[in-house]
A and B are shown apart, each in its own frame.
Chain A
Amino acid sequence: MKLNGLWQLPVLAAGCGLALSLTQVKLQPAIETSRENYAIHQLLSIIGEPEASIEQLGEALFRVDGNNYLFAVTTNEGYNGRIDLWLGIDVDGVIEGVRVHAHAETPGLGDKIDHRLSDWIHGFKGHSLRTPDDAWDVRRHGGEFDQFTGATITPRAVIHAVRQGLEEFREHQPQWQTMRQVRNERN
């Protein structure tokens, strides 16, 4: 009954395609939920409270335990362009943690801003706008933060972005405080 492979492959391909599509449709909600939980877990690990309750206020703005905020800050001052950061700030405007979320800095030099490669990023913890303006720089420029051997542009970009994030927080905190959770409004 063989027709020299004229029908076997198309039929098999259709069967495989069908099996995959059905599985994909069935699993998509579970995958979305897992992805979201994972992302939230990653975010909460920034402030070291993986069990805290979290509400999403905007695309890149979360409220944690009612008072503290996690939000995204972006700078284009990186040695290689854009650096995306997450800032965790408590109700008094004190930094609880910073994470670099995406960057294109030079491997081995500027990439020490990544928390997996160095502890540098943890140096922001406890800082706030009470930290004097001059201190928001690398040591070589009279600031309080370490530069990296062979890379000062990258850490400076991050330092400035973090400070800008604090200013943004001061400006928006009252407004954020009254914001409702996005998902509740959508429902």
Chain B
Amino acid sequence: MNETDTSRGGYAEIARNGLWHENPAIVQLLGLCPLLAVSGTVVNSITLGLCTLVILAASNLVISAIRSLLDDTTRLPAQIMVIATFVTLADLLLQAHAFEIHQQVGLFVALIVTNCTLLGRAESFARRNPVRRATFDGAMMGTGFLIVIVLMGMIREVLGHGTLFTNMDLIFGSAAADWTITVADSGFLLVVLPPGAFLTLGLLVAGKNWVDQRNDGRMTDEQG
């Protein structure tokens, strides 16, 4: 991560960084364990992505709010404590209101606490910025992560299972039971397995770099 001064720049820049330039999933490559393990289907991706988004915004908020009370010796344990608290809260809420999806992704919800994106944003942004900016940064970084994990879920579900949006009723209620789109009767097993997760992520990273390079090229053309 580049050590830029995060206390400068407007909200638009925070949003651009979270969603694109410093996207936690495809640029910083943080939180890979959940990103790779849970992105097998869209429903799992949305659950984990939303949990990460909410926890990241909430922990950034609290860490920013208490930042003046902490010094170098208490900072890290305090940040981890705040993150762990929100992760546990999310885990309890999921158990109470979406038990079946918790059975599938529960382990990875608990593991959000080890997602480096959260401690990374706490360290590099929340503790140096006022509450509103910090919360916004958490929300944008979380959204960046959510978009990538859902994109991976869509790609892997279509190619791996031949379906899209199966079991969405687990999070959106029974109205979502018939959202399933069947594209093919079966899919490529490889895409569902862990190597498929790595390949999909690699393609997304390459795609992002390709777009960046093309834009850079266009800019130099215009200048030259």
A2 at the B interface (CB under 8 A) = yes
A12-B66, A16-B85, A38-B99 given as contacts; is B78 within 8 A of A27 (CB)?
A: no
In the complex, are the beta carbons of A23 and B92 less than 8 A apart? yes
CB distance from A51 to the nearest CB of B (A): 12
B170-200 residues at the A interface, CB under 8 angstroms? none
In the complex, are the beta carbons of A8 and B70 less than 8 A apart? yes
CB distance from A43 to the nearest CB of B (A): 14
In the complex, are the beta carbons of A20 and B66 less than 8 A apart? no
Q: Which residues of A contact B92 (CB under 8 A)?
A: 20, 23-24, 27, 31
By secondary structure, the B interface counts as helix
State the total of A-B contacts with C-beta under 8 angstroms.
57
A4 at the B interface (CB under 8 A) = yes
Q: Contact flags (1/0) for A38-54 with B, using CB distance below 8 Å?
A: 10010000000000000
A5 at the B interface (CB under 8 A) = yes
Q: How large is the interface on B (under 10, 10 to 19, 20 to 34, 35 or more residues)?
A: 20 to 34
Contact partner of B81 (CB less than 8 A), chosen from A16, A24, A27, A35, is: A16
In the complex, are the beta carbons of B85 and A4 less than 8 A apart? no
Contact partner of B96 (CB less than 8 A), chosen from A9, A19, A27, A41, is: A27
| Chain B residues with a Cβ under 8 A of chain A | 66, 69-71, 73-74, 77-78, 81-82, 84-85, 88-89, 92-93, 95-97, 99-100, 103
**10 cross-chain pairs, A with B, having the tightest CB-CB distances, nearest first:** A34-B99, A5-B74, A30-B96, A16-B85, A27-B96, A31-B95, A31-B96, A38-B99, A5-B73, A27-B92
